[in-house]
Amino acid sequence: MSLLGEDFTLKATGVCKRYGAENVLEGFKFSLPEGAFEALMGPSGCGKSTFLHLAAGLLKADGGRVEIAGKDVLSMGDSEAAKFRRRHVGVVFQAFNLISSKTVRENILLPLALDGAKLSAREVKERFSTIVERLGITGIEEKLPDELSGGERQRVAIARALLPSPEVVLADEPTGNLDVKSAKDICALFKEINSCEKCSILVVTHDPQVAAAASKVHFLKDGRIAASYETEHDPALVSKFYLETYK
């Protein structure tokens, strides 16, 4: 519990990330309260994916801390970060590939197969059915990733991230490959997972519709959060804030 009485699932302080002479993140500060569903927006190249990769322990920083469930992800070695991720963080990244030699079912169950202490076999079975149904990928469980469309693959990656009941889901353009209806369904699923389970969600998106599914939107500019607003679940309001921030 913080002094202000608010708990955070994710708390970044003083995060710096450089590529050569380019400072992508500089003294970056960000907090995701427990149980929150929030969005991160900004122009291409401003560092959104960089931050999510750092927070997922997939990238090394040049300074700072990113605490998830009270642990500093940035100070972990690769294998510790991988284990931590399987237990606490659901990652939905386009580049975070599915394993091509494994079926959809095996891919979705993989994090639990590697570290299945958290749920019973019955819970896994029930959760698998619910999530697969909600994502509209029933019937393709025995297919290989190469036999799927881009959108189907993306939904399998989302199912894989959600199945272990992570404390936080980090999603980078989770609807980027989806049609309008599927994107809406994914937003509804995120909202449901967020409200029914103790799962905080941070979604990076260019789509005001997706950002408006979240309660709050943050805008990244010059390596920092330049502004944050309540979305009021209104895509037009999100677009207006965006244009004001980057005018």
Ligand X SMILES: Nc1ncnc2c1ncn2[C@@H]1O[C@H](COP(=O)(O)OP(=O)(O)OP(=O)(O)O)[C@@H](O)[C@H]1O
Binding site for ligand X (CB under 6 A): 19, 24, 42, 44-50
Binding to Mg ion (CB under 5 A) within 79-98 occurs at none
Least distance from ligand X to the Cβ atom of residue 42, Å: 6
- Contact of residue 45 among Mg ion, ligand X, none (CB under 5-8 Å per partner type): ligand X
Q: Which residue has the closest beta carbon to Mg ion?
A: 49
Q: Return the number of the residue (102 or 206) whose C-beta is nearest Mg ion.
A: 206
Distance CA 148, CA 242 (A): 34
Segment interacting with Mg ion, rule: CB under 5 A, options 44-52, 62-70, 162-170, 174-182: 44-52
Residue in 132, 173, 139, 125 with CA at minimum distance from that of residue 155? 132
Coil, helix or strand at residue 95: coil
Distance CA 20, CA 92 (A): 27
Segment interacting with Mg ion, rule: CB under 5 A, options 42-50, 93-101, 160-168, 225-233: 42-50
Least distance from Mg ion to the Cβ atom of residue 94, Å: 8
Distance CA 81, CA 95 (A): 18
Q: Return the number of the residue (42 or 111) whose C-beta is nearest ligand X.
A: 42
**CB burial of residue 13 (10 Å; 0-12, 13-18, 19+):** middle
Least distance from ligand X to the Cβ atom of residue 245, Å: 14
Give Cβ neighbours of residue 223 (< 8 Å, ≥ 6 apart).
Answer: 23, 24, 25, 26, 27, 28, 47
- Contact of residue 90 among Mg ion, ligand X, none (CB under 5-8 Å per partner type): none
Q: Return the number of the residue (42 or 145) whose C-beta is nearest ligand X.
A: 42
Torsion of CA 244, 245, 246, 247, to 10 degrees: 30
Please identify which residue in 49, 103, 175, 205 interacts with Mg ion, judged by CB under 5 A: 49
DSSP H or E run through 156? helix 150-162
Structural tokens at position 65:
């801390």
- Contact of residue 24 among ligand X, Mg ion, none (CB under 5-8 Å per partner type): ligand X
Least distance from ligand X to the Cβ atom of residue 206, Å: 6
Enumerate binding residues for Mg ion (CB under 5 A): 49
